[in-house]
Amino acid sequence: MPIQMLRVSHLPADLSAFLRHAQRQPFVFGHFDCTLMLADWWLANHGVDPAADWRGTFATQADCNALLRRHGGLPRLLARMALQVGAVRTTDPQPGDFAVIRAPTLWAAAIRTPTGRWAVKEGEGLTAIREARIVAAWKI
């Protein structure tokens, strides 16, 4: 299926501005959740939506879990998303790069911040995670 090309003048490609934008957005499954935040970040930088095939197709935690199961889990979903748009893997993520991380209480899709933390979309804001194991990471 072809990747949808979108113009996203409303999404800032500057990392700090994007994170401020993400902080203000409510968490909504299928529209702005931890994985779609990464897709939006890629979209803002490259004009291609890596989540076009499944954006807006789920609306609850149960729907999200079903999507993740269909794709083999969060790491495989993000790997497929990254591969689809040509993102390059990295073992040394820099600010703006994105990853699947494992923290003590969660698995998450996250963006590396300028402070070296991982920004994860949760609830009504962002959570900055300092200590996490990087499962897989890609350059923006």
Q: Is residue 10 part of a domain?
A: no
Sign of the dihedral through C-alpha 38, 44, 50, 51: positive
Domain residues for 86?
15-138
Instruction: Identify the pLDDT of residue 3.
Output: 37
pLDDT at 72 over 70: yes
The two three-digit tokens of residue 85, written as one number: 């748009």
Mean of all residue pLDDT scores within the chain: 89
Residue 12: pLDDT band (50, 70, 90) is low
Contact 29, 59 (CB under 8 A): yes
* Predicted pLDDT at 10: 56
Cα distance between residue 64 and residue 57, in whole Å: 9
8 assigned to some structural domain? no
Q: What is the CA radius of gyration of the chain?
A: 14
The count of structural domains within the chain is 1
Is residue 6 domain-resident?
no
Residue 88 has pLDDT above 80, yes or no: yes
On whether residue 9 sits in a domain, the answer given is no
CA distance 113 to 97: 8
Distance CA 80, CA 39 (A): 12
For tokens 């999404």, name the residue.
11
Q: Is 35 domain-assigned?
A: yes
In a domain, 7, yes or no: no
Average pLDDT score over residue span 8-22: 79
Going by pLDDT thresholds of 50, 70 and 90, the confidence category of residue 11 is low
The residue count for the chain:
140
